[in-house]
Amino acid sequence: MAYQNYDEIEITRKFVFGTDKPSPDNYNAHIRGKDVKPASQDYDMDTYMNSGGGRFAYPSLFPAVEKFFNGKIPDREKGYTSGEIKGILGLTSRDFWINISQYGTNIGGEDFADRCWIFGNSPFELDVTNATYYVNNGIKRIEGLKVKALADNFDFESDGRTQIINNLVFNPIVDRYRLNRGEVTINFTGSSGKPYPTYTEDNFRADQKLEANVNGSNELGYAVLLATKSGYFLNIASDKFLSYRRGVFNVIYGNPGWGDDSILSAGAVEIAGPGLLVGGAGNDTLQGGSFDDELDGGDGSDKAVYKGVKNEYDIQNLPDGSIQITDKIPFRDGKDILKNIENIVFQKALAQDIAFVIDTTSSMSDDIDEVKARASEIINIVLGEKSDSPDSVSPDETNSGGSRIAVVGYNDPGTDIFLPFTDQPDIEQRKTAALNAINSISVSGGGDFPEVVNTGLIRALSGDAGKWRPEADVRRIILFGDAPPKDDELRAQVLALASNVEAPVSGMSSPRTMSIASDIETSNITNNLAVTRFALETNAQTKIPVEIFTILIGNNTETAADFESLATATGGKALNAADSSKIVDVIIEALGTSADGGIPSAENKTVSIITPMQNIINGSPNNDVLLGYKENDSLTGLEGNDTLYGGKENDILEGGDGDDQLWGDLGQDILKGGAGNDTFFLIGNSAVLGLPEQADVITDFQPGDTIGLASGLLLDQLVFEAITLQLDGGLPSISTAIKLGNNYLAIFQGVETSTLTPNVFIGV
């Protein structure tokens, strides 16, 4: 028999997009707007009843038919009407209606996946409007019966446990952004049902033999089998639109409706690779990942957000009205195309106070010439680089973040301030001043090898080259020279000032009066005594430290040891330039080093979790499928290779012996695999926004266990965070939280991050 082949992509598109022909150009139209109506799908009644799921709606399944053929009804030459039979047998309307679970019907048949995916649990009605019932000499028959399929719907919402696999696994794949317009109404057109002109007792007994193939008792197990129909679902998931891909782009939609969306990272919404971010209606915020993305804000006032400052990007207007933004920093924001974006937001540049302290003796001639040749490059790194901007991006003259440059030289026997901190109101004026100062440096003197290194540093630290700002994000001296200090007796003063430029130092002028945002004020009482008043109570005076980065030119070991000690003591870094050709590159390296050296340091977050009370559901020694579904449940698989689904609310899942599969799903779940090689599944749509206290907890992850990535999760998207976990008031333990962006998926108790290597993860 040839079975009807229904188009699973057609109806799934209607469910998600409201049409089976979504716009190939305007992806904003894919997002559900206001007052949308669900779609509908028409199927031919005759086809469905004869070669589709309706072919299993045998008349014998209806209680009214069964009661007629098995009941005691007096012989009568004249047939009985439907009303008379209802009265004799006490039939109700429920006796003329059945529901068939396609999940448990003709399992593994040619059209099994089609029937389960599209129709699921199907309602049918016995039409006896024109029926006549005959009983002659104890022989029964019915004439004029019809069986018809009732209007149905396609969606992923159901109170029936047979649909939990669809709800849990497939809905997040085909509708990961919740675009759906609601259930698709299935209407059956054409005839009014499948006719049975004469239905005899022999027909009834024959159909009864077929009933074992309908509504199988293991339908939950076969629902799991449905999940293995990978070819069928791969076809759906690879559809041009349902794959959420457009060419090389991964399509990322904002939330349905006309609200304001935040689509903040292509790498944190269950995909990796170039992204097409679609905002739809509302005022949206879009931020791509490190690939080359396309950002389409749609209607409303939308903005694109970037990780760097404006001068780190090339911005170009394209002929079609879109904007191309190219990040100059590799592997950060990539090259993006912006459409329907009204505002572009770059990060505020660091406010830096950078003082160059330079050995200006004759031996430094070649090195200073190299610095002069590339002075603009050095200055632009500190103050920012002005670039042409499209009309839609307002020029930002403050994109330097208020950064400043000072230049101090030290020679034998004196020092020079070539440039005090640049406080000019305009960034171009600051650049000009810095460039002129660097070009004015001249070299002379020397002769003996050691130099007045510490004296030069004190000139920069003491305020003679301008005050260091307490509000600056970075305060840094770049010291470069080729000789050790001859003024070692001043090193203690250098270190004292570097730790706090406002601290009084013996032999120096008194500290300056200062004010920080009106909450700290320091006043001079005597030459060596200052009183600091705080708006907020505290026992410590605010410090204003300066880090010193040293650059040794050449390889003198005495200088190397001194510069290394100085950098270490002040929180800086010691660098080396082999010769003059390397000096500028090393200066740029010093300017590009983060304030913490690029090594984040923070104490582990401490998380305390208390397990709620549960309903108890136990398995058997066999291979079980246990479903918690709607309440707080405790599922225990016991022996066998079990599959446990927590469902909604907060559950406890314990696999027991055997190789078990544990799915926490929604709510906060506690998962324990037990003996055997178990798999714990992470589901992208169950992530907890920013709250580790509500994340799932895996309590016994051990060698041989694996982590399954469901709902399109990819290993490259995951973030691993070391935390301290206290479960149910027990002893705290170093554990690992796995996050998707800022959202917590699960915590692995007692597991260090180094344990979760790529080979423990498997795709689903």
Given pLDDT bands bounded at 50, 70 and 90, which one contains residue 518? very low
Q: Are residues 227 and 256 in the same domain?
A: no
Which of 302, 328, 345 is the endpoint of a domain? 345
For Cα atoms 358, 361, 366, give the angle at the middle one, nearest 5 degrees. 80
Mean pLDDT of 557-582: 92
Q: Are residues 144 and 230 in the same domain?
A: yes
Q: What is the CA radius of gyration of the chain?
A: 38
The owner of tokens 């305009």 is 426
Tell me the two tokens of residue 423: 């406080």
Q: Are residues 255 and 205 in the same domain?
A: no
Given pLDDT bands bounded at 50, 70 and 90, which one contains residue 531? very low
The answer to whether residue 530 sits within a structural domain is no
**What percent of the chain clears pLDDT 70, i.e. is strictly above it?**
81
Residue 327 has pLDDT above 60, yes or no: yes
Cα–Cα distances (Å) from 264 to 289, 303, 335, 619, 706, in that order, read 8, 11, 16, 43, 30
- Global pTM reads 0.55
Which of 212, 237, 262 is the endpoint of a domain? 237
Q: Are residues 145 and 233 in the same domain?
A: yes
Mean pLDDT of 18-44: 90
Residue 65 has pLDDT above 60, yes or no: yes
| pLDDT confidence of residue 354 | 96
Q: Which residues contact 78 (CB under 8 A, 6 or more apart)?
A: none
Q: Are residues 265 and 413 in the same domain?
A: no
Residue 152 · residue 8 · CB < 8 Å: no
Q: Are residues 585 and 632 in the same domain?
A: no
The answer to whether residue 727 sits within a structural domain is yes
Residue 379 has pLDDT above 70, yes or no: yes
Report the DSSP pairing between strands 303-305 and 275-278: unpaired
Q: Are residues 289 and 333 in the same domain?
A: yes
The answer to whether residue 141 sits within a structural domain is yes
| pLDDT confidence of residue 467 | 94
The model's pLDDT over 583-614, given as tens digits with 9 standing for 90+, comes to 999 998 888 765 443 322 334 555 555 555 55
Q: Kindly report the CATH number assigned to the domain that includes residue 335.
A: 2.150.10.10
Q: Are residues 274 and 158 in the same domain?
A: no
Q: 249 or 416, which is more confident?
A: 416
Measured distance CA(163)–CA(117) in Å, rounded: 9
DSSP for residue 183: P
Q: 323 or 5, which is more confident?
A: 323
Which of 204, 220, 237 is the endpoint of a domain? 237
Measured distance CA(275)–CA(291) in Å, rounded: 7
The model's pLDDT over 166-203, given as tens digits with 9 standing for 90+, comes to 666 667 778 878 888 889 999 999 999 999 999 999 99
Measured distance CA(517)–CA(470) in Å, rounded: 10
The answer to whether residue 674 sits within a structural domain is yes
| pLDDT confidence of residue 618 | 77
The answer to whether residue 382 sits within a structural domain is yes
| pLDDT confidence of residue 760 | 92
Signed CA dihedral, 667, 716, 681, 733: sign only:
negative
> Smallest Cα–Cα separation from 745: which of 688, 701, 690?
688
Q: Are residues 129 and 210 in the same domain?
A: yes
The model's pLDDT over 123-140, given as tens digits with 9 standing for 90+, comes to 999 999 999 999 999 999
Q: Kindly report the CATH number assigned to the domain that includes residue 396.
A: 3.40.50.410
Q: Which amino acid is at 500?
A: N
Q: Are residues 231 and 251 in the same domain?
A: no
Given pLDDT bands bounded at 50, 70 and 90, which one contains residue 260? low
453 phi and psi angles, rounded to 5 deg:
-60, -50
Please name the residue ranges forming H helices in 577-650: 583-592
What value does the mean pLDDT of the chain take? 81
Residue 18 has pLDDT above 60, yes or no: yes
Total domains in the chain come to 4
| pLDDT confidence of residue 421 | 95
Domain of residue 733 covers 605-763
The answer to whether residue 531 sits within a structural domain is no
DSSP string, 42-54: EEEHHHHHHHSGG
Residue 555 · residue 577 · CB < 8 Å: no
The answer to whether residue 743 sits within a structural domain is yes
Residue 376 has pLDDT above 60, yes or no: yes
CA 518 remoteness from chain centre? 40
Q: Any idea of the CA torsion for 163, 168, 169, 173, to the nearest 10 degrees?
A: 110
| pLDDT confidence of residue 151 | 95
The answer to whether residue 513 sits within a structural domain is no
Measured distance CA(639)–CA(658) in Å, rounded: 6
| pLDDT confidence of residue 539 | 40
Q: Are residues 689 and 758 in the same domain?
A: yes
The model's pLDDT over 699-743, given as tens digits with 9 standing for 90+, comes to 999 999 999 988 777 888 888 998 888 887 677 788 999 988 878
Measured distance CA(629)–CA(666) in Å, rounded: 9
Q: Are residues 367 and 458 in the same domain?
A: yes
Given pLDDT bands bounded at 50, 70 and 90, which one contains residue 629? low
SS3 at position 317: strand
Neighbours of 625 (CB within 10 A): 20
Residue 489 has pLDDT above 70, yes or no: yes
